[in-house]
Chains A and B, each alone.
Chain A
Amino acid sequence: MTPTSTARWPGLLRHVVLFAGALLFLFPFYYMLIGSLQAEPDTSVAGAFPTSGLTLDNYRDINSRVDLLGSLINSGVFTGGVILGTVVFGVLAGYALARLRFRGRGTLFALVLLVQVIPFQLLLIPLYVLIVRGYGLADSYLGMILPFAINTTAVFVFRQFFLQLPDELFAAARIDGAGELRVLWSVALPLVRPALLTAVLLTFIGPWNEFLWPFLITKQADMQPLAVSLANYISNVAARAANPYGAVLAGACVLAAPAVGLFVAFQRHFISTDIGSGVKG
């Protein structure tokens, strides 16, 4: 756009509107942090910008009611299991769908598309019946991980990335007598390494933030991921605590921090339009 006088004002206006929107979007996060550090909740406007009296008591309080470390470990195992399953089996499936011709490939790819539009909630009751009642996997990591074990969106993204690699590369490797696994491991994977990171980050936020499924299948407090134990605290215990919001917000900060931290550290990988084009097909 040329910097004529007609173009400059909309440009300035655009920045003003975007900054105002961005601050509005970020404010709840700022308020979460401030609220978690205040000894007494101060809901006046001035209370949102305190100058003194900040304390870590709320973190001690939530830690005495919810086993923060144990819950974080449960969240970590749940998320790690999903990432491992997605990276190992998702990459294999994505590679096969993109570069190999075999019977049933078209059907499988149609399923990849279909799975993405089936709401998980329709499967909720049968999965609960099968996994909890049928296989007896309530209160276990395996039961938590199973429905999410291979992230279909990630399979789709992997396929897109493998499709973008030049054909000659694969032809050359195959002429040299390399088997398919060797081609995948030594030729294709090194070239899609940045994409792999994108897919891992994308997969991370699913199970780390997931509430409904682990909530259904974990009744023992020592097996619950942080999202579940914090939610139970919000719905059951909070009303009886001295500074309920302070403790809730402290727990919320602990739950939000890893996802937000990873996102900010690797924001370039989210912001690349790869995810958009991957989902879009």
Chain B
Amino acid sequence: MSTAHTAAAPAPGAAARSPRPAGRGRMAAVLGRHPVGMVLAAPYAVFIAVVFAYPLGFAIWMSFHDYFFAAPGAVVDRPFVGLDNYRAVLADPAVRQSFGNIGIFLVINVPLTTVLALLLAIALNRVVHARTFLRVAFYVPYVTASVAVVGVWLFLFNAGGLVNSVLGPLAPDPSWLVNAGLAMPVIAVFVVWKQLGFFILLYLAALQNVPKELYESASVDGAGWWRRFRSVTVPAVRPATALVVILATITGANLFTEPYLLTGGGGPNGASASPVLVMYQRGIQQGQPDVAAAIGVLLVIGVLLISLVNRRLIERD
């Protein structure tokens, strides 16, 4: 949308352009009107090529070959093995379990994040008193390191922690983080709390663009709070909802720090292991980068499929 705006605007420097010699016109046709732009953008373009494009291709290549760590400079044969790595991955119970775990995580985390972020953004958008304090309170977990806040959640949710002493006889046994059924839900709620501020920010930006007249005419028509919410707000922020769902899904699929630290490496018995944690264990601890790359490719395909389905659902609604 912004690109279209620039294209339609009068060309920068249009006034000075007419007396330009023919040679420059031909150069402009090949390199564009401002070839210096190539120079300015070059460092970033190189960065993208080295840090994203090449490793992306390398990951896919690796997942189809028998790749292993070798001494630097050693020339070793890394034969093409077709889908062998993928077969190994899909037959690995730990990998299957981790994909199941992340499914549980997403089912809890994404809807909770989307609904809470939207409701809190609507409330924060209308609030008159203590605006700054309220916004800071909801954003602060987002700007804090996971490692730091994991420390305090460990303290809160351990067997003898504050949460259990508040619950008293209602405390779960085994306790939260060592309970196979509760470890993943606790992590999912932790991530909701941690990331919510960022998603509230996205919704607040989207709410600025909802025309006030729509609410006014809905009120005149006698629509109550719920009706206005359903018929005005939700459709108006739909693009933001699509973005929130996709970003929350990607963040969730990247889960690593929380199971690594909060549940001591994906415990109990792998009940909270995430695919990225298994990638780390297989690829780096056990020296099978080819298998780890295959897990990564499958994970990304999964995320893309979920995003496409979500997009369809959100846009059709």
A interface residues, Cβ below 8 angstroms from B: 1, 10-11, 14-15, 17-19, 21-23, 25-26, 28-29, 31-32, 35, 41, 43-45, 47-48, 89-90, 92-93, 95-105, 108-109, 111, 115, 117-130, 133-134, 136, 146-147, 149-150, 155, 160, 163, 167, 170-171, 174-175, 179-181, 184, 205, 208-209, 211-212, 216, 227-228, 230-231, 234-235, 245, 248-249, 251-253, 255-256, 259-260, 263-264, 267, 270-271, 273, 275-277, 279-281
Of chain A, the residue at the smallest CB distance from B290 is A125
Question: By the criterion CB–CB under 8 Å, are A43 and B160 in contact?
Answer: yes
Of chain A, the residue at the smallest CB distance from B274 is A121
A261 to B21, CA, bound (A): 56
Which of B44, B58, B155, B161 has most chain A Cβ within 10 Å? B44
Given contacts A97-B41, A277-B205, 8 further A-B contacts (CB under 8 A): A21-B137, A105-B37, A123-B59, A163-B6, A179-B36, A209-B143, A249-B152, A255-B145
Interface residues as binary, B43-64 with A (CB distance below 8 Å gives 1, 0 otherwise): 1110110011111101100100
B283 at the A interface (CB under 8 A):
yes
Of chain B, the residue at the smallest CB distance from A164 is B2
Question: By the criterion CB–CB under 8 Å, are A273 and B3 in contact?
Answer: no
B306 at the A interface (CB under 8 A):
no
Of chain B, the residue at the smallest CB distance from A146 is B51
Complex contacts, B156 vs chain A, CB 8 Å: 28, 31
Of chain A, the residue at the smallest CB distance from B215 is A1
Question: By the criterion CB–CB under 8 Å, are A281 and B1 in contact?
Answer: yes
Of chain B, the residue at the smallest CB distance from A201 is B143
Question: By the criterion CB–CB under 8 Å, are B31 and A122 in contact?
Answer: no
Question: By the criterion CB–CB under 8 Å, are B166 and A45 in contact?
Answer: yes
A252 to B167, CA, bound (A): 26
Question: By the criterion CB–CB under 8 Å, are A15 and B127 in contact?
Answer: yes
Question: By the criterion CB–CB under 8 Å, are B12 and A174 in contact?
Answer: yes
- A to B CB contacts below 8 Å, 17 in the list: A15-B129, A18-B127, A22-B134, A43-B161, A45-B162, A111-B52, A128-B284, A133-B72, A167-B12, A171-B13, A181-B40, A209-B144, A227-B145, A235-B261, A259-B144, A270-B139, A279-B243
B38 at the A interface (CB under 8 A):
yes
Stretch at the interface among B89-97, B106-114, B249-257, B308-316: B249-257
A109 to chain B minimum Cβ distance, whole angstroms, is: 7
Would A126 and B47 be within 8 Å (CB), given that A14-B126, A121-B256, A163-B5 are in contact? no
Contact among A14, A103, A117, A184 with B31 in the assembled complex (CB-CB below 8 Å): A103
A163 to B1, CA, bound (A): 11
Complex contacts, A32 vs chain B, CB 8 Å: 148-149, 151-152, 155
Complex contacts, B256 vs chain A, CB 8 Å: 121, 211-212
Majority secondary structure, B binding face? helix
A30 to B268, CA, bound (A): 29
Complex contacts, B289 vs chain A, CB 8 Å: 125, 128-129
Interface residues as binary, B198-241 with A (CB distance below 8 Å gives 1, 0 otherwise): 00011011101000000000000000010000000000000110
Question: By the criterion CB–CB under 8 Å, are A125 and B202 in contact?
Answer: no
A167 to B166, CA, bound (A): 61
Which of B146, B264, B297 has most chain A Cβ within 10 Å? B146
A95 to B6, CA, bound (A): 13
Q: How many contacting A-B pairs (Cβ < 8 A)?
A: 343
Would A21 and B120 be within 8 Å (CB), given that A126-B59, A231-B261, A259-B143 are in contact? yes
Complex contacts, A47 vs chain B, CB 8 Å: 162
Question: By the criterion CB–CB under 8 Å, are B279 and A124 in contact?
Answer: yes
Question: By the criterion CB–CB under 8 Å, are B145 and A256 in contact?
Answer: yes
B136 at the A interface (CB under 8 A):
yes
Question: By the criterion CB–CB under 8 Å, are B300 and A119 in contact?
Answer: yes
The bracket for how many chain B residues form the interface is: 35 or more
A21 to B140, CA, bound (A): 13
Complex contacts, A120 vs chain B, CB 8 Å: 254
Contact among B6, B30, B55 with A123 in the assembled complex (CB-CB below 8 Å): B55
Question: By the criterion CB–CB under 8 Å, are B55 and A280 in contact?
Answer: no
Complex contacts, B134 vs chain A, CB 8 Å: 18-19, 22
Question: By the criterion CB–CB under 8 Å, are A28 and B127 in contact?
Answer: no
Contact among A28, A100, A231, A245 with B37 in the assembled complex (CB-CB below 8 Å): A100
Would A124 and B136 be within 8 Å (CB), given that A14-B126, A101-B37, A273-B208 are in contact? no
A255 to B152, CA, bound (A): 12
Please report which residues of chain B, range 10-47, place their CB below 8 angstroms from some CB of chain A when the two chains form the complex.
Answer: 10, 12-16, 30-38, 40-41, 43-45, 47
Complex contacts, B208 vs chain A, CB 8 Å: 273
A102 to B166, CA, bound (A): 63
Complex contacts, A125 vs chain B, CB 8 Å: 59, 62, 279, 283-284, 289, 292-293, 296
Complex contacts, A212 vs chain B, CB 8 Å: 256-257, 276, 280
Question: By the criterion CB–CB under 8 Å, are B140 and A255 in contact?
Answer: no
Contact among A10, A100, A129, A245 with B40 in the assembled complex (CB-CB below 8 Å): A100
A7 to chain B minimum Cβ distance, whole angstroms, is: 10
A216 to chain B minimum Cβ distance, whole angstroms, is: 6
Would A209 and B37 be within 8 Å (CB), given that A123-B56, A263-B140 are in contact? no
